Structure 1
């Protein structure tokens, strides 16, 4: 029974986890806007979602990592949590100090990701409400 509930909510749970990771990356970019030679990072959400869903359904007996300090079979250099590759943002406007953070783009990405995160919360809320309706009759 619990396995079926996990399967039912897995897609939105994975999407919210990725949105949360992306929000942290964008916040880090904004925080380092004045750091010399800082390179703005991001993830490709579509490919990250495909990878995360494949990992979630690949081997159900495999233990999940709850900390980035846990050892894994393969190296995750240059990648975020769950082995999602971190990408560098394309330079929109170069800076003399080598920093690639474009504050306008980062603010737009931050707001867009936050709205999509809220939409994911709304989706999960709707799923839970429909389950409660089915249970209560």
Structure 2
């Protein structure tokens, strides 16, 4: 039993933020690696939003599959190379200031998610405790 309907979303976001922290740490660790390109972890749904306008698929027959049937998991994560960053002479494009800023932002969101999960759990626990008293 889960505390509320948003619990799964909170935990998915928490996992995403943990994985994103690993990617940012990897970028920072490879700051002196020649030819290394900055990586970023994004949700599949964010990739679809950012991509060029897609062609609309129309069902002309009820037996056709809809385009939403092809989506296995909209919350699936993908590791992508960040394009358009300034490169150093060795081909590396990691910017330490930008990565540290992203790491700080990610930590703030991670902490907020943890707090939301704790509050959600406390509320659920208080409902169970009060119903047990009756």
Structure whose CA Rg is larger: 2
Partner of 1:36: 34
Equivalent in the alignment of 1:131 = 124
Give the TM-score taking structure 2 as reference length: 0.69
**Equivalent-residue separation in structure 1 for 2:4 and 2:89 (angstroms):** 49
Gaps of 5+ in 1: 57-81
Offset of residue 6 of structure 1:
7.9
Residue 104 of structure 1 corresponds to: 97
Flag structure 2 segments of 5+ consecutive residues without an equivalent: 49-71
- What per-residue deviation string (whole Å, max 9, x for no partner) do you get for residues 92-134 of structure 1? 3220000010111100000000110000000000100100110
Partner of 1:95: 88
Structure (1/2) with the larger helix percentage: 1
- Deviates most, 88-97 or 11-20: 88-97
Cα deviation per residue 1:56-91 (whole Å; 9 max; x = unaligned)? 9xxxxxxxxxxxxxxxxxxxxxxxxx8522111234
Indicate yes or no: 2:73 matched with 1:55. yes
Moved more, 17-26 or 6-15: 6-15
1:70 counterpart residue number: none
Count of matched residue positions in the alignment of Structure 1 and Structure 2: 106
TM-score of the superposed pair, with normalisation by structure 1: 0.68
